[in-house]
Each structure stands twice: as structure tokens, then as C-alpha cells.
Structure 1
Amino acid sequence: MTGLVDVVVIVAVAVLVITRQTRPQRIDHARRWWLVPAVLVFFSLRDPGVIDARHHTEAVVLLAAELLVGVAIGVGWAWTTRIWADPDGSVWGKSTKASLGVWIAGIAVRLGLFGLGAALGVHQGTPALLLALAATLLVRAGILKFRAQSLTSAYGGGSAYGDDVPRAARKERA
């Protein structure tokens, strides 16, 4: 039954993350940005089959590669997210089309790693995927917090990233 629980957790987190990132979201400095990654780590480490005992070395190498891919996706996703500050100083962020490209590339690499593991005969379960997803979310959130802090301190909290780009004037309504 743990396999089913893991699948439900992965799907729920993916749906939550994707739906939250397709619309503007406030980047809060006080929010517990580490909570979802911590829950994912808990779910992944409660399973004793994180490392295949029969193929220990190969399993550790695949897990390390999976974690590196997770970190790379987190970095790419964070740096392709558009952030801006409202006049009241609140910082907002929204994923871009480039962020979608990062996700697609990451999924392709993960599928390649899974195929490599299957070819080597390494038993692979969901714990490695949960750990990599936790790494992705943790790294992304940390970089976004860093970017948000630098944006508010550099621009005094009232400017938006890219304010030097001319924009069309808005029409006033009566």
C-alpha cells in the first residue's frame, strides 16, 4: 500500500505546485517555504527501499544523479521565474514558459535515469523521486527568497524587476 500512498503524494504535490505556479503568487519572507520539502523527505525516508541492497553502488550513483537533477531543476526553475515588487513592497512571482522548458528537460533526464537503472537491474521506487522533488522545491524556494530580498533591497521595495522597460500607458477609467 505504500506505493499507492507515494503515488498519491507525488501527484498531489505536482498538482499543487503546478497550479500555484501558473498564476502570480506572493513571495512571503515569513512563510514556511521548507515545509513541503520536509514532508516529502519524511515520506521518502520512511521507506527502507531507498537504496537497492542488491545493487548498492549503482543505486547510490543513481540516487545522487537524481538529486543533482532535482537541484538543477530547482535552480533553473527559480531563475526562470519572473519576480516583481508592488508599490507596497510585496514581492510576487510567476513561472514563465522557460520554467516549463526546465520542467520538461528535467522529466526527460529523470526518465533517462530510470531507464538506465532498469537496464542495470536496479530496483527503483518512489523514494528517490520524492527526495529529488524535495530538493527541487527547497532549492527553488531558497533562490526565490534570495531574489526577492535582493529585489526589495535594491529597489527600495517599490519597483518591479524590469521597470526600466517602457510599457504602454494604462487608460484611466472614470
Structure 2
Amino acid sequence: MSGLVNALVIVAVAALVIARQFRARAISTDRRWWLIPAVLAVVALREPGILDAHHRADSAVLLAVELFVGVATGAGWAWTTRIWTEPDGVVWTKSTKASVAVWIVGIALRIGIYAVGTVLGLHQGSSALMCALAATLLVRGGILVWRAQSLGAADRPAPAYGDGMRSVRRERA
């Protein structure tokens, strides 16, 4: 995939995720929350230019830092997200103002990483950014599912036939 297509995929996924994070959404712990991050990682790792061919060690360090920032952003985002259980036993989530701060810091750090790479003369493709975004989404999803399972297990009554039926359609996470 070209750099432009990768950039468009990154922007589209980030816009979708950011736009959806401030609406209350039910968390389903049995869904494949890891699927989008896995697809992003596979697309990113298929690209041959994830490491600069002339500066492999430096670009590998920069990639590791980028992945660390992605993991930290995902963890920060997940831990600053409000999570609660409704009386019907459904676990809900909604991002907070602190989540916005986590995103701003994460984006600022990524800009800094890009600036350091530019100063060092490293070729930086969009694959590293896509890997970091995949790490962010994977860590966030994993922590939220874990929090939902631990929160919902104690408060939720045993499911009965027809418990999942509602008159109002709600968006599921």
C-alpha cells in the first residue's frame, strides 16, 4: 500500500475511534475487540519500509519508542474511561475529559518522535504510526474488556431468556 493510502487509513480509523469514544456504548466482552487492531498491524507489517534501510538500529529504536507511546496511550485512554453497570446488567463505557488529555499528549509525543527522526535523517513511513495505532487500540480494548468483565461479573444477575431484548436500540462496543 502506498504512504497516502496508509495515511488515509490511519486518519479514518482515528477519526472513527475518537468520534465514537464520547458516546455511551455498551461493552460486549464476547465480541472480537482485537480484530481492527490486528488488521491494522498486519497491514503495517506488510510494508517493507517500516525500518529505514540505511539506519536500521536508529529506526528500530524510534519504532520501539513509537510502540511504547502507543501502548501507554491505549492504557491511559482505557483507565481514564468511565465504566459502569446499568440495572439490567449491561456494562457501559464513555470517555472523559481526561481521555482527551491522554490523546493530546499521545499525539504530541508522536509529533516529537517524528521530529527526532527527521533531525536524525531517518526515513519514516506511515507503517510505524499504523503499528502504534494498532497497539493503542489493542491495549485499550483489552483493558476495557477486562474492566467490564470484572465489573459485570459481580453485579450482573444470572441471564434469563429474553434478557437481551430491549425496545430501544443501543450501540454495542
TM above 0.5: yes
Structure 2, gaps ≥5 residues long: 158-173
| Residue 143, structure 1, aligned to residue 147, structure 2 | no
How far apart are residue 26 of structure 1 and its match? Answer: 0.9
Q: Which residue of 1 aligns with 2:102?
A: 102
| Residue 157, structure 1, aligned to residue 146, structure 2 | no
Higher deviation after alignment, 38-47 or 1-10: 1-10
Task: State the AA in 2 paired with 1:70.
Answer: G
Partners in 2 of 1:28 and 1:142 — Cα distance?
Answer: 12
TM-score, with normalisation over the residues of structure 2? 0.88
Q: Which residue of 1 aligns with 2:34?
A: 34
| Residue 71, structure 1, aligned to residue 59, structure 2 | no
The answer as to whether partners of 1:86 and 1:157 remain within 8 angstroms in 2 is: no
The answer as to whether partners of 1:67 and 1:132 remain within 8 angstroms in 2 is: yes
The equivalences for 1:17-56 within 5 A come to: 17-56=17-56
Partners in 2 of 1:2 and 1:46 — Cα distance?
Answer: 11
Partners in 1 of 2:64 and 2:13 — Cα distance?
Answer: 22
Partners in 2 of 1:150 and 1:38 — Cα distance?
Answer: 24
How far apart are residue 78 of structure 1 and its match? Answer: 0.2
Structure 1 stretches of 4+ moved >6 Å: none
* C-alpha distance after superposition, 1:111-159 (max 9, x if no partner): 11110000000100100000000000000000001111111123x227x
Partners in 1 of 2:41 and 2:103 — Cα distance?
Answer: 20
Q: Which residue of 2 aligns with 1:126?
A: 126
* C-alpha distance after superposition, 1:80-120 (max 9, x if no partner): 00001111111110110000000000111111111000000
Q: Which has the higher contact order (CA 8 A, sep 6+)?
A: 2
* Identity value in percent: 62
Tell me the SS of whatever aligns to 1:83. strand
Partners in 1 of 2:122 and 2:32 — Cα distance?
Answer: 36
TM-score, with normalisation over the residues of structure 1? 0.88
Partners in 2 of 1:102 and 1:157 — Cα distance?
Answer: 31
Higher deviation after alignment, 7-16 or 74-83: 7-16
Tell me the SS of whatever aligns to 1:52. coil
- TM-align CA RMSD: 1.1
Task: State the AA in 2 paired with 1:91.
Answer: V
